[in-house]
Amino acid sequence: MIARLVGFDTVSRRSNLPLIHWVRDYLASHGIESRLVPSPDGEKANLFATIGPRVEGGVILSAHTDVVPVDGQAWDTDPFSLVERDGRLYGRGTADMKSFPAVALALVPEMLKAGLRRPVHLALSYDEEVGCIGAPFMIHRIVEELPRPGAVIVGEPTSMEVVVAHKGCYALHTRVIGHEAHSSQLQRGASAVMTAARLVTFIDDICAENRAAADPASPFEPPYTTLHVGKIQGGTALNIISRECEFLWDIRTVPGDDAHRYIARVEAFCRERLLPAMRAVAPECDIRTELLAGAPGLIAEPEGEAAQICRALTGRNAMTVVPYGAEAGQFQEAGFSTVMCGPGSIDQAHQPNEFIEISQVAACERFLRGMISRLAA
């Protein structure tokens, strides 16, 4: 089953429909109806399905179907053909995160035979890797249409550790519009590039403030909300005062922090410090920031139903946190008890020659078989 799912090239820029339709047909062959929640353009879809009775108290097993690109990476094998070697399975998505849903799908016949008293809900999303874009459409439908689940387990690669909290992640695009002139006549122009540079420095200053005020007791590493500019481009030539410059940046919030307060500070800095001087030269100058995508952090609920289930099934009392974003916070925001627990290591995610240890797949099998027994009891 892992080989089948890895075999679908679901890099985020492509449609995931071939994989989704295959899963729908596979579940239908076992008499299970799937519900598809298409993207606004119809090019992609989420899928959720219920195995067992339509009653409250079930468990959602959640995974995203998209993977990151392989472009420019030095792979030793075809990324979309599973290769087994030395106790590992190699292929794009083996760790992040097709193995978890593959194990769940492979165990569907066992779920059907178990006489479940409470259901297993499968939830597969699109476009997690580009900002957790697809899951909210599905979560809305789940809230409306399913008997209330007792827990959500998001199968991100946690090495089967129970992860109770993750940071939020917000992606932003800022465009600075200046006024062109010859670079020997600075008084006649308003440089978009140099203005953007001041704004990038201001964003870095905010991050430095957070670093200085970090709570040393925080379990996160780093233990504060970070702001980071990852890509910038602008200008036409060395001797032209630039008209345009744009950059992409992100905010990764510790759970409970509000990304919008940082956006408001950046916008106020533009409005009060940068734009007046630019518009004194040319009234059409502007600075625009757009929130491209955002997902809230997962707030730790160590005594929540999801955490208790996973502790019981893994036999591990330790609960960890992770600095990256995921869809778990979106499920929690909708009112579900949620944790992350899945096979594979995040250290292999997004890497060339991505792999998962077969021992991790076996651990996931044991975990989900224990889940089936728990829901059948």
Tokens of 262: 């940082």
Phi/psi at 99 (nearest 5 deg)?
-65, -40
Catalytic member of 9, 25, 127, 128: 128
3-state secondary structure of 209: helix
Q: Report which DSSP code applies to 98.
A: I
> Would you call 66 a catalytic residue per the annotation?
yes
Return d(Cα 306, Cα 337) in angstroms, integer. 5
Tokens of 146: 């399913």
Kind plus residue range of the DSSP H or E element containing 166: strand 162-166
Catalytic member of 66, 305, 327, 354: 66
220: which residues sit within 8 A by CB, 6+ positions away? 165, 167, 254, 321, 323
Residue 143 near residue 334 (C-beta atoms within 8 A): yes
Return d(Cα 122, Cα 100) in angstroms, integer. 11
Q: How far, in whole angstroms, is CA 56 from its chain's centroid?
A: 27
| Listed residue (20, 47, 260, 255) closest to 137, CA to CA | 47
Q: How far, in whole angstroms, is CA 125 from its chain's centroid?
A: 10
| Listed residue (258, 123, 137, 269) closest to 200, CA to CA | 269
Tokens of 5: 């799912």
> Would you call 128 a catalytic residue per the annotation?
yes
Active site residues: 66, 128
